[in-house]
Structure 1
Amino acid sequence: MPRLGLRPSTAVYNALIAASVRAGAVDAAYLKFQQMPADGCRPDCFTYNSLVHGVCRRGIVDEALRLVRQMEGEGIRPNVFTYTILVDGFCNAGRVEEAIRVLDRMKEKGVAPSEATYRTIVHGVFRCLERDMAYIMLSEWLSHEPTVHQSACQTVLYCLSKKGMAKEAVEFAKTISTRGYLLDSTAFGTVISCALKCLEMSDLCELLDSFIKNGGNPGFDVYIMVIKSLLNCKNFPKANHYLWHMVSKGVLSSVMSYNMVIDCFIKAGALDKAEEIVKGMQEKGFLPNLVTFNTLISGYSKSGNIHNAKVVLKMLMEHGFMPDIITFTSLIDGLCHTHQLDDAIVCFHEMAEWGVRPNVQTYNVLMHALCSAGHVNRAIDLLNKMKTDGISPDAYSFNALILSFCRMRMVDKAQNIFNSMVRFGVVPDNCTYNSLIKALCGQRRVSEAKKILLAREHNGCSTSNNQSYWSIVCALTKMGHFSEAGELMNKCLSRNVELSCGSNQSIESAVAVQVVNA
């Protein structure tokens, strides 16, 4: 370029230095920086920021500090990016106290920290220190700040939530509220999710009421979390109170939001209230959709009220909707629970007339009902039909048959189903293994049970807090193989397997093993 009478500008050098830093070539960036005076180019704030960023990434924070002093000596004023990079560098180096001092220094220089600066310092402190120490340090630092910074507070709450410090998050929220700071809806949602883990419902409601009283506007997520918790505690009056708040403040602003609330009340068994909400949403101009009706049908079916489920089905069609797989599966499930098995099978066959194809859940509902009623062969026929229709059965499908045969003490047939399950490529679960092992042990076929147990371990199925080991231990003690039972029990304890004796297991077996291990 000099041969052509052209010289690079500061902007050109800045682009080259920044590119070198991004590529990790900090030495090359320094070389270009040193060439600038020879070409008559004066470094600016961007030049120094790139270099400061580069050395901080390498962990050479003291060199970054020297560069900042150098730029100040040349009359170049560091900006918010300079200080934020420095703060991040000190945090990454584990020097959090110096990072906070950098923050104080930038304020002294009249540079206002940005949201990124506050997020950087908070994340950095939590990254470097043990969580309790980080909370103490940040609380103390913020208590000396003349104003409460939104970004800093929200980031502290976010970190406390992620670190599982629910109690501290609630405590922090209360502390900053005493200083006149009102959280926004998102941050308050974080506080409520933490409060659910550590506060009594009365204290949680007090927290929410205080937020509303101080002018806060809880969002839909906050209300739905609180209402779900209240319904779980069967506190219907308070749940209705917050539902009224949602309606009056326009928080329920779509059919989807109404459907979620309806689902909460239905799962709590408050079906009358759910119907009342459906009427209320129509009065507000929101027409129920297929999800609304399916939610009601599912609720009535699970409660055994098939009459009302059919009434809602009629309403569904009157509103121009066609029943889908969820509609039919819910109705079949309800009919099965009320022992109307023949009607459930009729409903199953009617699906084809409506152009609805059964799925694995539909088949599973019917298969379990048939097995419970003792019609295991019909359940097997249904399993075969399922395969013929190209629907892959899952572990739940096979478990219905295995459990039934085990209860009938037809263990060989249960094993045949188990083998078919494995050949079909379905991975057995804990229920499969526990049922089969217990049945084999009941017939003193311990060697076969142990083979199943080995297969279970090979497949990586969870072995903690299960009765499979205990079934084998009990069988061995009944057979007088005390030494082998003791060895197996010690093996379980060494693997932190929690042995638990079922109500139908032999107390004598437990005593015998304890004697062996004494």
Structure 2
Amino acid sequence: MRKFSSLASRVSPAIPNLKIHEQKQPQNSKPSNFSSSKNLGKKASNIVNSEATSTGKPQFKDSNFKSISASQTHISSNKYKFDGKPVDHHYFAEVLSRKDWVFLLSHEFKDKLANLNTRTILSILQNQENPLHLLRFYIWVSDICPQFANNQLIHGALGNALYRKGPVLLSAELIEDIRNSGCRVTQDLLCVLLGSWGRLGLAKHCNDVFEQISYLGLTPSTRLYNAVIDALVKSNSLDLAYLKFQQMEVDACVPDRFTYNILIHGVCKIGVVDEALRLVKQMEGLRYSPNVFTYTILIDGHCNAKRVDEALGILDRMKERNVRPNDATYRSLVNGVFRSVPAHKAIKLLSRWVDMEPKLPKVAYDTILYCLCNISLPRDAVVFLKKAAERGYIPDSSTFNIAMTCFIKGLDLDDTCEIFDCFTQQGMKVDFNVNLALVEALYKSGREGKGNKYLLRVLQEGLVVNVFSYNMVIDCLCKVKMMDRASETFRKMCERENLPNLVTFNTLIAGHCKVGNVVKARELLLKLIGHGFKPDIFTFNSIIDGLCQVNQIIDAFDCFSEMIEWGVTPNTITYNILIRSLCITGDVSKALKLLRKMQDDGIQPDVYSFNALIQSFCRMNKVEKAQRLLTGMLTLDLHPDNFTYIAFIKALCGSRRYHDAKELFLSMEANGCLPDAYLCNSYIDALIKSGQVKEAQRKAYEDTPHLGAAEVIANEFLPQAEDEEETDQYLPEAGIIGTHPSNIVEKALECFHDKHIYSSCDEAYRLTQSGELNVPPEYTDEYCKGPCLTETHHVLDCIDGFLKHYKFYNKATLHDVRETIETGCSYGPKRGDFNVAEHLEAEENRANIASKPVVYGLLLMIMAAWCTLF
């Protein structure tokens, strides 16, 4: 539970006339020649001063309410006006922090209350950092202007602010402060407080305060019961909420539709739909008909209970009762369906629903399209978008931007460009970021002509108008290493009087350094200084990295020293660049000294700092030194990653310490580091190169076939073994498992159920033990370009590792299944046909047809020979 710090830390005990005096700006310890440095220092100082007045949250028992008297205060009547001018939030914070805050507010603004409006009140509530201040302001406003006491917008803003910056607990000190101000805790205020406590999970405090409302001068009412029940539901205390519901009758409070909707929402959150339906019947018995909120909650609850068909049926019930669904209803339905069932099933259900509903609102299409893009199903999203477009649907800009981002990442770029052109020709406004993402993807794929076309369109549409948009274009060009174009854009930017900023120079410097053009980076550094900017940590890190890449280590260290002279403190990335470069050049001792200096300077190393050194020592077969580094790494609470383990495993195998390497490999998962395919392949590779082929085979085919480690056996060892005519002893069926043949078959069948292999592919589309692939034609694109294709090949590789001549129940071989997949994913007439049995039949027919000419030829030869004899 969050608590409050003292109010005394926020404001000085005596602020003459409540005038805000600017503190004297601290002078820089080292004068700078840059014209902007003073401004930067001033801004930084203002930020520090501002933060100093806003840190901490008030704790009422420690608040010094008697530190200021009203007699010491005089506020000019011209200081602030509610006349449309910007609100001075810091000034309000000063006033509200005082003991006599009510007197000051009333005295200052009594003649200006006519200009006080909802917008001003919302602005003040949303911009007060101290939650006690905004609570005090609301109390004063609701007391002095009763018309604002029941304003739902103000209640919402106050509740959100108390949730974000609170909690404000209703302590004895706070109640006394409110009473001393001449105000009281009203029912409206208590409802808002209960709502904030519920969102923060303070169920006990909600219950305790409600039990003592008589001390606040309040009597139980249906509205207060609704507020406390809602708070308890939000804090996941459904049992307490039901208890309060049962107490309503004792206090002569009658439940209303809001009461039942709150409880229905509570049980639907946890998927107890039958109880929700019972509450609906009870509500109807009291002559409260379910409204759109009730039905929306029920739809969400049925989806939580994975009763999706019934959730869709609720819409029909709403039609029968003339209850019109709202936007939230459609969003709850679509999101609930995708949340409750696998993606392919959700698509089928919603597609059927869309086909049956001739007139769906735009929000339904928007939500379906958003969900498809959110779970990265670009092919299905395109199909749905085309179907919806035929009905006249045009997505709004935000939805289309999300869809385009998904298409750029997972769709063929030509198809993406076609969709982009189709909708932009209809007047669709595409976000600047999405335009640049498409341009970047086109450049990366080698479609420079198309990339130029879309970039030119961006420029012609006037989207590049300020330094920020120019920076984004330059960054896009730097990412694709088109530095000449980036420099040209920079030149045009300057010609059009869009002055570059520090980000512009840093982007260009980093881009030139990545392509190894350090000379150009130095020129830009001089320009940066010439424009009055001071190089920052990003500038120096880019230049140091660029110098290291071109093997100018001495210059990199000179830049490192100059960086400190400029007053820029190196960070972990700076040291990591230098440590890595020293290790690459073989100067490990200097790299080790730099690591120690890094720690002495108070810079916390990360796993990359240690990995570079550990890998170097392991390559030098100095495993003990690497182990000492690992110990130091663990003392800093840093956890080794896969690259750390790879370095040690390779070194141990190279030193013929195979048992230690195996123990280390097996300990990875226990230490929270899951071995990936690269690590397993590296381990197998190290075993093979050390002559431990049988151990490598066992590891590849028995322990980790799902990680592709068998690939190393095939690529690295078997070609050599074939040359030496020793292949047979290394084949899996020769007994690498060392068990009975039936156990080998059992091991092969386990490949179908290995969670590491089939992890992302939907169960409906997985290869079965009978050799069948139940992939519908409409799912072809998703299957062939998604995880199912890769994981199915992993299954086949896994089986192949145990039994090379394995046959499925339908008599298909591994080769037959692979051919069927290849045909089904091809772009020929058989695309989408994954029927293995039909493929086998077609192969047999082709074989029979091919054999007939041979037979006829033999018969003709025999007959000709017979004729020559006679």
- The answer to whether 1:383 aligns with 2:590 is no
2-structure distance, mates of 1:170, 1:227: 20
1-structure distance, mates of 2:592, 2:706: 38
Instruction: Give TM-score scaled by structure 2 length.
Output: 0.51
Q: Deviations over 1:8-57 (max 9, x none)?
A: xxx94465367557644458647857998xx9x8x875566557657766
2-structure distance, mates of 1:374, 1:49: 70
- The answer to whether 1:350 aligns with 2:562 is yes
Which residue is 2:411 aligned to?
199
1:150-189 alignment, distance < 5 Å: 150-189=362-401
Which residue is 1:311 aligned to?
523
Offset of residue 319 of structure 1: 1.1
Distance 1:390-1:497 versus aligned 2 partners, 3 A rule: farther
1-structure distance, mates of 2:706, 2:446: 40
The answer for unaligned runs of 5 or more in structure 2 is 1-219, 233-237, 738-870
Offset of residue 449 of structure 1: 3.7
Which residue is 1:411 aligned to?
621
% identity of equivalent residues: 41
Q: 1:311 corresponds to which letter in structure 2?
A: E
1-structure distance, mates of 2:593, 2:256: 81
Q: 1:418 corresponds to which letter in structure 2?
A: Q
Distance 1:359-1:19 versus aligned 2 partners, 3 A rule: closer
Distance 1:486-1:182 versus aligned 2 partners, 3 A rule: closer
Q: Deviations over 1:224-245 (max 9, x none)?
A: 3312311221222322322233
2-structure distance, mates of 1:370, 1:51: 65
Q: Is the 8 A contact 1:492 1:498 kept in 2?
A: no
Which residue is 1:369 aligned to?
581
Which residue is 1:228 aligned to?
440
Distance 1:124-1:461 versus aligned 2 partners, 3 A rule: closer
Moved more, 215-224 or 273-282: 273-282
Aligned to 1:396, which of 585, 604, 608?
608
1-structure distance, mates of 2:648, 2:251: 79
Q: Is the 8 A contact 2:226 2:258 kept in 1?
A: no
Q: Deviations over 1:396-426 (max 9, x none)?
A: 333333434444xx323x5314313422434
Q: Deviations over 1:326-367 (max 9, x none)?
A: 212222222222232332222222222212222232223223
1:241-256 alignment, distance < 5 Å: 241-252=453-464, 254-256=466-468
2-structure distance, mates of 1:129, 1:369: 50
Q: Is the 8 A contact 1:351 1:358 kept in 2?
A: yes
1:99-118 alignment, distance < 5 Å: 99-107=311-319, 109-118=321-330
Which residue is 1:473 aligned to?
687
Report the secondary structure of 1:501's partner residue.
Answer: helix
Which residue is 1:501 aligned to?
712
Q: Deviations over 1:477-497 (max 9, x none)?
A: 45xxx7766655566337857
Which residue is 2:571 aligned to?
359
- The answer to whether 1:59 aligns with 2:273 is yes
Q: Is the 8 A contact 1:100 1:121 kept in 2?
A: yes
Q: Is the 8 A contact 2:273 2:301 kept in 1?
A: yes
Offset of residue 59 of structure 1: 2.1
Q: 2:549 corresponds to which letter in structure 1?
A: H
Distance 1:442-1:150 versus aligned 2 partners, 3 A rule: same
Bigger-Rg structure (1/2): 2
2-structure distance, mates of 1:502, 1:260: 47
2-structure distance, mates of 1:436, 1:279: 50
Q: Is the 8 A contact 1:473 1:488 kept in 2?
A: no
Moved more, 229-238 or 495-504: 495-504
Q: Is the 8 A contact 1:119 1:151 kept in 2?
A: yes
Which residue is 1:5 aligned to?
none
2-structure distance, mates of 1:433, 1:219: 44
2-structure distance, mates of 1:92, 1:461: 33
- The answer to whether 1:217 aligns with 2:429 is yes
Instruction: Give TM-score scaled by structure 1 length.
Output: 0.82
Q: Is the 8 A contact 1:483 1:516 kept in 2?
A: no
1:437-516 alignment, distance < 5 Å: 437-450=649-662, 452-453=664-665, 456=668, 458-465=670-677, 466=679, 467-471=681-685, 473-474=687-688, 477=691, 492-493=703-704, 498-499=709-710, 501=712, 514=731
Q: Deviations over 1:434-480 (max 9, x none)?
A: 233323323434345445545655533332322453256336645xx
Aligned to 2:354, which of 142, 149, 156?
142
Which residue is 2:542 aligned to?
330
Distance 1:97-1:325 versus aligned 2 partners, 3 A rule: closer
Q: Is the 8 A contact 2:260 2:279 kept in 1?
A: no
Offset of residue 388 of structure 1: 2.9
Q: Is the 8 A contact 1:49 1:82 kept in 2?
A: yes
2-structure distance, mates of 1:87, 1:161: 23
Aligned to 1:288, which of 500, 505, 510?
500
Q: Is the 8 A contact 2:617 2:626 kept in 1?
A: no
Q: Is the 8 A contact 1:87 1:102 kept in 2?
A: yes
Which residue is 2:58 aligned to?
none
Offset of residue 126 of structure 1: 2.8
How many residue pairs get matched? 495
Distance 1:488-1:205 versus aligned 2 partners, 3 A rule: closer
Distance 1:367-1:79 versus aligned 2 partners, 3 A rule: closer
Q: 1:183 corresponds to which letter in structure 2?
A: P
1-structure distance, mates of 2:262, 2:479: 57
Report the secondary structure of 1:355's partner residue.
Answer: coil
Q: Is the 8 A contact 2:654 2:690 kept in 1?
A: no
Report the secondary structure of 2:712's partner residue.
Answer: coil
2-structure distance, mates of 1:132, 1:143: 17
1-structure distance, mates of 2:604, 2:704: 38
Q: Is the 8 A contact 1:300 1:308 kept in 2?
A: yes
1-structure distance, mates of 2:260, 2:581: 74
Distance 1:484-1:273 versus aligned 2 partners, 3 A rule: closer
Offset of residue 383 of structure 1: 2.9
2-structure distance, mates of 1:448, 1:303: 42
Which residue is 1:422 aligned to?
631
The answer for unaligned runs of 5 or more in structure 1 is 1-10
Offset of residue 317 of structure 1: 0.7
Q: Give the structure with the larger helix fraction.
A: 1
